[in-house]
Structure 1
Amino acid sequence: MERDVVVHLFEWRWADIARECESYLGPAGFAAVQVSPPSEHAVLSGHPWWERYQTVSYALDRSRSGTLAEFQDMVSRCEAVGVHIHVDAVINHMTAQTNGTGSNGTKFTKYEYPGLYTMSHFHQPLCSIQGEDYTSSAERVQRCELLHLADLDTGQAEVQDEIADYLAGLVKMGVRGFRIDAAKHIAPAELSAIVAKVATAVAPLDPPYYFLEVIDRGGEAIHASDYLGVGEAAGSVVDVTEFKYDRVSNAFLNAGGATLESLDALVAASDMLPRDRALVFTANHDTSRAGAIFYGDGALDELAVTFALTFPYGHPVVLSGYAFDRSTDAGRSMGPTSDAEGITLPIYAPGTNAPSCATNLVDAAPGAWLCEHRRRFLPNLLEFRRATKAAPQIANVWKNGNQIAYGRGDRGFVVFNRTDAPLAQSLPTGLAPGSYCDVYGGDFSAGGCSGKTVTVDAAGRATFDVPAMSAIVLHVQAKL
C-alpha cells in the first residue's frame, strides 16, 4: 500500500500512539506519525504546550508523553504495521528559563546543561532577535535568541556532534524522519553538516527523512528556498515547509477577500517551493492558535483539509490535537490534560479499544481530544491520493468564486461548494463512463456506496448536486 500523508498526533502519549498505529493509522493508510519532542524538557508552571520546546537534555527517559521504554515500544509497533515515526527535533536552542529541573530530573541553569553544553557552546555575544531582524538581517535571525531561548552555536563541530548523536540514536531505534523545529534559525550550511554527520553515524542504515520548519510568507531576509540544498551531499531527502500554503486556509476562510477561485494557481505558483519539495498543512500546532483555519471552523476546516489531500501540491501533514480556548493567551498556551506532575493522561481509557474522542469538534470543551485524523472521510481521501498518483496534474478546471472543481486526468474529480446554497452544475470530468461513489459524503466498500453516486456519461460529463459548504470526491477505485 502506497502512503504519503503524515498525521501529527500533537502531544499524544507514546503508549496511545502505538495503539493508534495498530488500530487505525496502519489500516487507514497513513505514512507516518509526527510525534512531539521526546527529549527531556523544562517543567513550567501550568505545563503549557510549549514547555516541550525548551530542551534540557537529549535523554529520552521521561517526557510527559512517557518513558524511554514506551517510546521504543511505540516505534517498533508502529513500524510493524507500516507507519513510520517522525520526531519533532528541537536542536536550535535550549531553555529560556534561568534555572530549573527538567522532566527527567536534570538540574540546569540557562547556558549550563550538565554533561551536554556550557556557555561556550552558545552564540556570543548574547543577543535577542528583534522584529525588524526578520526582514533585514538573516545573520541576527540565525545567531540571536528566539524568544530568549538559549541559542546554540550550531557552527561549532562539538555542538553538531552532540545533535548528530541525538538524531542518529533515534534512527537506530527505528525513527524514520525528523521535523527540524526552528530550522530558519540555523544556517543552511550548518544544518547540512549535521545531516551529513547523521548519515555517517547511521550507515549502513538509510539516512532519515527531514522536513525543515522555515517560516517564510514573503518579504523575509531568510527564504524557504535557501534550504533546498540542505542534505544533498549526504544523499538525504529533505523537504521544506511552505508557509505560503496559508493561501488555502485564507481562501476557505475568505480572509482578505480571498476565494476558492484562485487555488488552481498553486500547482505552478512561481513564488512557492517546487511542489515535490514542499511540506504543507492547512493548520499546525502554531498556526491553529494564531488565527489560521482550525477545528473550530467546522465544515470550512474539513473542506480545507480535503483540498490539501486531493490537490497535487506538496506533501501534506494533518494535525490532530486537543481542544483549547483561542480567545485568551492562557487558553492558547494550554497543554494537554495531565496529572499534577504534568504527565499527559491516557487517551485510550483502560479496557477500551479506541481513543476517547470528542464527538462534536466545534463545541469540544478545552482539553478534549479531537481525533481530527479519525474524521470519517479521511481514509477515503488517502485512497484518492493513491488512486490519482499517476495523474499529478490538474485538468478540467471549473471555478466560480467560492466554487471550484478540478480533475486528476482520468483518475479522479473533485468539486467544492463553499457557499450557503446548493450547487447544481454539469461539468466535464475526464473520467470514464459509469457510476462513482462520492467518498467525501459516503463510503465505498464491497462494490456499494453508503452515500450518493454520480453518473458520468459517454462524453465524460456529469451533473453534480453539491450541498452548501460541502464537496464531492470521485476516483476510479470507487467506481460501482
Structure 2
Amino acid sequence: MVGTCHAAGVKVVADSVINHMADASGTGTAGSSFSKYDYPGTYSAADMDDCTSPVTNYADRWNVQHCELVGLPDLDTGEEYVRRTIAGYLNDLLSLGVDGFRIDAAKHIPEADLADIKSRLTDPGAYWKQETIGAAGEAVQPSEYYGTGDVQEFGYAYDLKRVFDNENLAELKNFGTAWGLLPSDKAAVFVTNHDTERGGGTLTYKDGARYTLAHVFMLAWPYGSPDVHSGFEFSDKDAGGPRDGQVNACYTDGWKCQHAWREIAGMVGFRNTAAGAPVTDWWDDGGNRIAFGRGDKAYVVINHEGSALTRTFRTSLPAGDYCDVQSGRGVTVDSAGQFTATLGADTALALHTGARTCGGSAGGGDGDGGTTATGASFHVDATTRWGQNIYVTGDNAALGGWDPARALKLDPAAYPVWKLDVALPAGTAFRYKYVRKDADGLVTWESGADRTAAVGPTGLLALNDTWR
C-alpha cells in the first residue's frame, strides 16, 4: 500500500494509538489470547498506569493523563519499557515507508513522554501531528505540544460549520488566529474527521454543498495544514465501514471517496501553487458570496447562495487563459487582471497559474475576460449499485433526442450527486429525464413526468435534482 501511494505522489501518515489498549478480551489476528490489562508478548498490568478508573476531571492534569480515557487501559508512557516498545512499533512503521504519524489522544499523554518517544525514532524529523482537543478551563492545553509537532485545531472545524450553516461567509475575511485559533504554522485543520462527523459538531457529506464549499475554502485559505477526510456512508453514530475490507471502486459499497471529488481534488493543485502567497483582492457581498486571491498565483470565488452570481472580478493574476478547476471550463483574464463569470447556486470557481488549460474540457477564453461555456449544469442525487451509471437525455439533440443509446453520462465524482455540464445556447428551453444503465445494458427511466428547464439570458443554468 505504501509503495502504491508513493508511486502516486501520496505520502502516508499512520494514525497511531499509543495512549491506551483495548478494553476487551478475545483472540488477536495472530492467534494469541488477550484480556484487559494482559496482552501477552506486549504489555501486562505492570505496564499500565496506577489509576484504573475513567477520566472524570479535565481540570486535573493528573486525572487526564494517568486515568483511563472512556475506560480504556492507560499505558504508563513514563515507563522505560513502554516508551521503548512504542518507539519500536513506530520505527517498524517507518521501515515500511510510512512518512509520519497522527498521535491519537495525545492530550492524555504527558508532552515530555511523547518527546522522549519521538526522540527514539530512526527518523526524528518524521511528520508528527497530535490530537489535542482544547477547551477553556482545562488543565491540558494544545499549546503544550507545539514543541513536539503540529496540533489538530478542532475549533477550526467547529467554526466552519457554524459559519456555513448559519452565518455569513463574509465573516471569514480574517479567519484564523484572529478568531482565537492556534498559530497557523502549528495547526492541523479539517472540515470533519472520522470522530467528529458522527457527533454533529462538524459538517459531513450529508450537508451537501455546504460541506463541499467548506473544503474549497479550507484548501484555498492560507491557514494551517489541511486534512481531507475520505470515508464511507453511515446511518448512525456506531455504523461501521463496508464489510469484508473489499474496495471495488469509489462511489460503490458505501465508499464516498471525497478525495476524488472534482471540487476537492482540484483544490490540491491550487493550494500547492498558492503556497506562501498572501490573501489579496478580497471581495464579498456582505453575505454568503466571497472571492479572494492568493497574490499573483491563484483566485477563488465561492457562491454559497441559492441563486446564480454574475460578476466581473478583479484579480492580481497575469493576463491569459486559465482552467476553472471547479467546473473544467476555460476562463480568460484580461490585461487589467479582470474576468467575468457566472456561478450557479452553491458552486465555486478556482483559478491558479498551475492550471492554464482544461485539457480539452468544455470552455475556453473569449478574449474579453469571460467564459465561453453556456448551457445547463446537471446535478442529480441518485444512489446506484456496482456497475450502474446515471445518464441524462431529452428533447434537444445535444441531450440525445430521447434516445437512451445517445444519452449523456454524468460524472459520479461527488457521489451520490452525479454531475454534467452540457453546452446549450442562452434562451434554450428543453425537456429532460435521467436514466440508469446497468453493466449489462439494462436501461431504467426515472419515474414521473418529463422535467422542463430553460437556459436563461446569462447563458448558465444550474439544475439540482433528485432521482425519482
User: How far apart are 1:223 and its partner, in Å?
Assistant: 1.6
Distance 1:77 1:455 in 2: 37
- 1:396 matched to 2:261: no
Higher relative contact order (CA 8 A, sep 6+): 1
CA-to-aligned-CA distance 1:224-254 (integer Å, 9 cap, x gap): 1110012xxxxxxx21111111212322222
User: How far apart are 1:332 and its partner, in Å?
Assistant: 1.9
- 1:158 matched to 2:72: no
User: How far apart are 1:467 and its partner, in Å?
Assistant: 1.4
Select which of 199, 210, 213 maps to 2:131: 213
Work out whether residues 96 and 147 of structure 1, in 8 Å CA contact, stay in contact via their aligned partners in 2.
Answer: no
Larger Rg: 2
SS in 2 for 1:84: coil
Distance 2:141 2:112 in 1: 14
- 1:458 matched to 2:324: no
SS in 2 for 1:319: coil
Work out whether residues 51 and 66 of structure 2, in 8 Å CA contact, stay in contact via their aligned partners in 1.
Answer: no
SS in 2 for 1:332: coil
Select which of 320, 324, 337 maps to 2:242: 337
CA-to-aligned-CA distance 1:249-273 (integer Å, 9 cap, x gap): 322222xxx3212222124436222
Structure 1 residues 335 and 105, CA gap change in structure 2 (3 angstroms): farther
- 1:477 matched to 2:354: yes
Structure 1 residues 373 and 115, CA gap change in structure 2 (3 angstroms): same
Distance 1:251 1:154 in 2: 39
User: How far apart are 1:137 and its partner, in Å?
Assistant: 1.7
2:299 corresponds to = 413
Partner letter of residue 30 of structure 2? N
2:106 corresponds to = 183
Q: How do 1:225-374 and structure 2 match up within 5 A?
A: 225-230=143-148, 238-246=149-157, 247-254=159-166, 258-269=167-178, 271-291=180-200, 292-325=202-235, 331-338=236-243, 344-348=244-248, 355-358=249-252, 368-374=254-260
2:142 corresponds to = 224
Partner letter of residue 187 of structure 2? A
SS in 1 for 2:269: helix
Distance 2:16 2:22 in 1: 14
Distance 1:105 1:141 in 2: 33
CA-to-aligned-CA distance 1:351-378 (integer Å, 9 cap, x gap): xxxx1424xxxxxxxx611111111233
User: How far apart are 1:290 and its partner, in Å?
Assistant: 1.0
Work out whether residues 416 and 472 of structure 1, in 8 Å CA contact, stay in contact via their aligned partners in 2.
Answer: yes
Partner letter of residue 186 of structure 2? R
Distance 1:137 1:195 in 2: 25
SS in 1 for 2:118: helix
Distance 1:441 1:78 in 2: 27
1:148 corresponds to = 71
1:89 corresponds to = 16
Structure 1 residues 80 and 437, CA gap change in structure 2 (3 angstroms): closer
- Structure with the bigger percentage of strand: 2
Distance 1:220 1:455 in 2: 52
Unaligned runs of 5+ in 2: 358-468
TM-score (norm 2): 0.72
User: How far apart are 1:218 and its partner, in Å?
Assistant: 4.2
1:126 corresponds to = 52
Structure 1 residues 297 and 159, CA gap change in structure 2 (3 angstroms): same
TM-score (norm 1): 0.70
Work out whether residues 217 and 243 of structure 1, in 8 Å CA contact, stay in contact via their aligned partners in 2.
Answer: no
Unaligned runs of 5+ in 1: 1-73, 231-237, 326-330, 339-343, 349-354, 359-366, 443-450
SS in 2 for 1:407: strand
SS in 2 for 1:87: strand
Distance 2:165 2:15 in 1: 28
Partner letter of residue 233 of structure 2? A
Q: How do 1:428-467 and structure 2 match up within 5 A?
A: 428-442=314-328, 451=329, 453-467=330-344
Distance 1:430 1:91 in 2: 47
Distance 1:91 1:213 in 2: 12
- Structure with the bigger percentage of helix: 1
Distance 1:185 1:122 in 2: 13
Partner letter of residue 169 of structure 2? L
Partner letter of residue 103 of structure 1? T
CA-to-aligned-CA distance 1:318-345 (integer Å, 9 cap, x gap): 11111111xxxxx22121222xxxxx33
Partner letter of residue 434 of structure 1? G
SS in 1 for 2:185: coil
Distance 2:99 2:271 in 1: 22
Distance 2:319 2:125 in 1: 45
User: How far apart are 1:402 and its partner, in Å?
Assistant: 1.3
Structure 1 residues 302 and 148, CA gap change in structure 2 (3 angstroms): same
CA-to-aligned-CA distance 1:377-426 (integer Å, 9 cap, x gap): 333212212221241x1111112221211110011111111111112233
SS in 2 for 1:454: strand
**How many residues were matched structurally?**
354
SS in 1 for 2:354: helix
User: What is the RMSD of the two structures over their aligned residues, measured on CA atoms?
Assistant: 1.9
1:37 corresponds to = none
